[in-house]
Amino acid sequence: MTTTRDPRMDPESCYRAVTSRDRRFDGVFWTAVRTTGIYCRPSCPARTPAYGNVSFHPSAAAAQAAGYRACKRCRPDATPGSPDWDVAATVAGRAMRLIADGVVDREGVDGLARRLGYTPRHLSRLLLAELGAGPLALARARRAQTARVLIETTDLGYADVAFAAGFTSVRQFNDTVREVYAASPTQLRGGRGGRAGAGTVTMRLAVRTPFAGRALLDFLAYHLVPGVEVAGDGWYARTLDLPHGPGTVRLDLADEPDPDRTAFVTARFALHDLRDTAAAVERARRLLDADCDPVAVDDHLRPDPLVGPLVRTCPGLRVPGQVDGDETAVRTVVGQQVSVTGARTVTGRIVAEHGRPVVTDVPGLTHLFPDAATLAELDPAGLPMPRARGRALVGLAAALAAGDVALDRGADRDDVRRRLLALPGIGPWTADYVAMRALAHPDVFLPTDIGVRNALRGLGLHDAEVARAVAGADRWRPWRSYALMHLWNTLMPPTATRET
């Protein structure tokens, strides 16, 4: 048996996961079978191959580069990503986030390396060592995955699928699909004819279970900004500012309590330009915290006497992510030291005055969130907030517009925090909240947050016990962000009672 060059992948542990068909490892590694020439997810229901006939790969691209084709039964490319990408936040994980967003397709390997702060050659060596494939191969695997989903779940014509997935030509699309899946696009579609696309794409986004979709919806709906977001009973929608034009996404959110399988969230995208399909999908997945391993999180927090009962009540709770890091940071500054309702009102006014109007087919979605360059030009005195907070907002926007602070999931978290704290009016609460929401940091706690203290009091703790609970939050590492969400979740009103 052979393994990849990643020293962290223990073959015997991987094989035990394959033998038990443990779905928690789907997206963490891939299993290639020498006798069949295919690669699978660890939970593939097919007969378990002999130990001596398998190799383990840290990415689908690595398996493809080794000459293996994707299994037609378990669809190994349709898995959530590795939760380790957010936990460790290594260069490889940050690169995978940017590749999934289409950076290589739009800016090439040089653009990806520049965002990560490496030379292209050094970055390629790092990715090859950790993921078994370089940036071009990783981007190719992502394009193939997107293409397959579009072929099988939409009626887009093949030319539309090719360009929506990021291919530069129909020929490149056909050759890649045949090589990766050992089938033509027509065979993958099952003989159904395609039609020209009108910019609307409906897809199913994989998430690990359990998945507390209703709780995620309640949080998003409670914080929504008028004009940019709307929500109702079982769904959430918002506008998207994408590289090639505006778009919208509507997510159908429901709980999926079964911990033994992968769930899917239905996402409907309306895009000005189909080339933005991959970017739109990645940003929706960020919002869903789709790559989280909820079983690992819940197993760690469940024994705790304080948050354990909350975990048992709401298994699979996610940390809501973002579709645009700059927007998240601006909204965080607006929300400093004001109520959620007040922040929504103020942010809605800013959107109405400075956001870009768009025409959508979703009632209530009327604007894109104003970009950092637009906000950087504003007079702080004219903003509907105290002067000091207005200056902090404009200063932050200027730093974002100039590239002094990058919130695209490619930046180093510690470096981002230092740069944020160096800005006037940005304190630890703001920097840490941005790290949690914009950079998907799984281990953030906000000891000074009023909501945290109110939630603890709601659990029956008096002031001295609240202080001790806050001081003892380190016992929730490395999942303090999730413990924080469980506390906040006790304060969320259900979406069904206030459809917008």
Nearest to 133 by CA among 39, 57, 33: 57
Cα separation values, 444 from 417, 433, 476, Å: 12, 8, 10
Residue with tokens 């989280």: 292
Specify the pairing of strand 2-3 against strand 38-40.
Answer: unpaired
| Catalytic-residue membership of 314 | no
DSSP assignment of 292-312 equals --HHHHHHHHTT-TTTHHHHH
Q: Which residues pair with 32 in a beta bridge?
A: 39, 55
Q: Which residues pair with 211 in a beta bridge?
A: 256
What percentage of the chain's residues is helix, strand, coil (to nearest 5)? 50, 15, 35
What token pair was written down for 132? 């078994």
Could you tell me the sign of the dihedral formed by the alpha carbons of 391, 444, 297, 74, in that order?
positive
Rounded to 5 degrees, φ, ψ at 232 are -150, -165
Q: Which positions ≥6 away from 7 have C-beta within 8 Å? A: none
DSSP assignment of 200-249 equals EEEEEEEEESSB-HHHHHHHHHHT--TBTEEEETTEEEEEEEETTEEEEE
Side chain identity, residue 268:
R
What token pair was written down for 435? 């790290």
Catalytic residue among 155, 273, 412, 449: 449
* The dihedral formed by the CA atoms of 308, 435, 422 and 92, expressed in degrees to the nearest 10: 130
Nearest to 58 by CA among 76, 72, 46, 45: 76
| Catalytic-residue membership of 449 | yes
CA distance 491 to 129: 45
Strand, coil or helix: what is 270?
strand
Helical H segments across 355-479, by residue range: 372-376, 387-402, 413-421, 428-438, 450-458, 463-471
Q: Which helix (H) or strand (E) holds 191?
A: none
The beta strand positions in 49-168, using DSSP E, are: 54-57, 69-70
Q: Which positions ≥6 away from 121 have C-beta within 8 Å? A: none
Side chain identity, residue 497:
T
Q: Which positions ≥6 away from 405 have C-beta within 8 Å? A: 329, 396, 399, 416, 419, 420, 423
Catalytic residue among 40, 44, 74, 314: 40
Nearest to 288 by CA among 240, 323, 327: 323
Any idea which residues carry the catalytic annotation?
Answer: 40, 449
